[in-house]
Amino acid sequence: MAQNWYPIIDVDLCINCNTCVDFCQNGVFEEGDEFPLVVNPVNCVEFCRGCAKICPEEAITYFGDTE
Residues 1 and 7: their CA atoms lie apart, in Å, by 17
CATH code of the domain containing 30: 3.30.70.20
**Structural domain count of the chain:** 1
pLDDT-based confidence at residue 67 (cuts at 50, 70, 90): low
Q: What is the mean pLDDT of the chain?
A: 93
Query: Closest Cα partner for 37 from 3, 65, 9?
Result: 9
Q: Is residue 1 part of a domain?
A: no
Q: Would 42 be classed as within a structural domain?
A: yes
- Let me know if residue 58 belongs to a domain: yes
Residue 34 lies in a domain: yes
How does pLDDT run across 18-65, given as a tens digit for each residue?
999 999 999 999 999 999 999 999 999 989 999 999 999 999 999 988
Residue 10: domain span: 6-63
pLDDT band with cut points at 50, 70 and 90 for residue 1 = very low
